[in-house]
Amino acid sequence: MTTMTRVPASRQPETTPLWLKLSSYLVLSDDEKLYLSELEKTIVKQPPRSDLLQQGERYRDVRIIRDGWAIRHKALPDGRRQVVNFVLPGDIIGMYCTLFESADHSVTTLTQVEVASFPPERIGELFRSFPRLAAALAWSGAREEAMVAERLLSLGRRTALERTAHLIVELLRRLSVVNMAADGHFVLPVTQEILADALGLSIVHINRTLRRLRDSGLIELNGQRITVNDVRQLASVGQFDELYLHLIRAPRRLERTFSDNRSPRSGGRDEQAKA
């Protein structure tokens, strides 16, 4: 709402990345805002290259990333590795911890990361007392799946150049939502090895591919800063269609389905059950 600084943004309690992200989906009430900030109360800092979660490990708390980057990845017994997705500020880890016994993937930090965590039991509470907020979190989780499916399309059917372009545009879009990208540039705290693992390529080939993108003037790289000179064109190279990011606001039927029609108090907005 107010113009945003690019600072880690945790001055005012309510503008955490998660809040920003959810707000892009639906307008949150003050109650909801407050409850959300409750969830982000217990905060810890994790050093770079440390595991937030390990494949096979039992799930523990739910974690909210407040600052920094991480990767979600899976490994084969012989060491080959696939990065499933990048975990950015505003993303949630272990949302399914209530449903699954143990994790089928690892999450490892790339930079120093600030995480909030809360016990899984609160999810039940959330669904009961703040159904719209719960719906927004479900949206965030469903979007995650959509991103993985899109990456699958990339690995299966896009060439190395297309994949790489696609990923860059995706990151740009995602980071914009949490005010971490401006005019097409952002910090990409990632080695080429990690890019390779994300795109199913060899490290040498990712290097070649980045070179081609640079040579064609589509992007610039200075250290960890990447600049996209012409987003439209890069998107077209990557056949990027942002439909899968589901960035549009919640459909009207969401209110019908998830509005809290049980507590006339607290939730404060209407009820009027249907059918």
Partner DNA sequence: CTGGCCGATTAACCTATGTTGTAGCCGCCT
Partner DNA sequence: AGGCGGCTACAACATAGGTTAATCGGCCAG
201 is an interface residue for DNA by CB under 7 A: yes
Per-residue x/- mask for a copy of itself, residues 171 to 210, rule CB under 8 A? --------------------------x-xx----------
Per-residue x/- mask for DNA, residues 180 to 199, rule CB under 7 A? -----------xxx------
Given 202, 233, 239, 261, the residue binding DNA (CB under 7 A):
202
37 is an interface residue for DNA by CB under 7 A: no
Given 210, 219, 228, 234, the residue binding DNA (CB under 7 A):
210
221 is an interface residue for DNA by CB under 7 A: yes
211 is an interface residue for DNA by CB under 7 A: yes
Q: Got the DSSP string for the chain?
A: -----SS---SSTT--HHHHHHHTTSPPPHHHHHHHHHHT-SEEEE-TT-EEE-TTPBP--EEEEEES-EEEEEE-TTS-EEEEEEE-TT-EE-GGGGT-SB-SSEEEESS-EEEEEE-THHHHHHHHH-HHHHHHHHHHHHHHHHHHHHHHHHHHHS-HHHHHHHHHHHHHHHHHHTT--BTTEEE----HHHHHHHHT--HHHHHHHHHHHHHTTSEEEETTEEEES-HHHHHHHTT--GGGG--SPPPHHHHHHHS--S-SSTT-S------
User: With CB cut-offs between 5 and 8 Å by kind, which of DNA, a copy of itself, none does residue 148 bind?
Assistant: a copy of itself
User: With CB cut-offs between 5 and 8 Å by kind, which of a copy of itself, DNA, none does residue 98 bind?
Assistant: a copy of itself
Residue indicated by tokens 């217990």: 42
User: With CB cut-offs between 5 and 8 Å by kind, which of a copy of itself, DNA, none does residue 220 bind?
Assistant: none
156 is an interface residue for a copy of itself by CB under 8 A: yes
| Count of residues touching a copy of itself (by CB under 8 A) | 72
Span of 107-115, 143-151, 180-188, 209-217 interacting with a copy of itself by CB under 8 A: 143-151
Per-residue x/- mask for a copy of itself, residues 109 to 128, rule CB under 8 A? -----------xx-xxx-xx
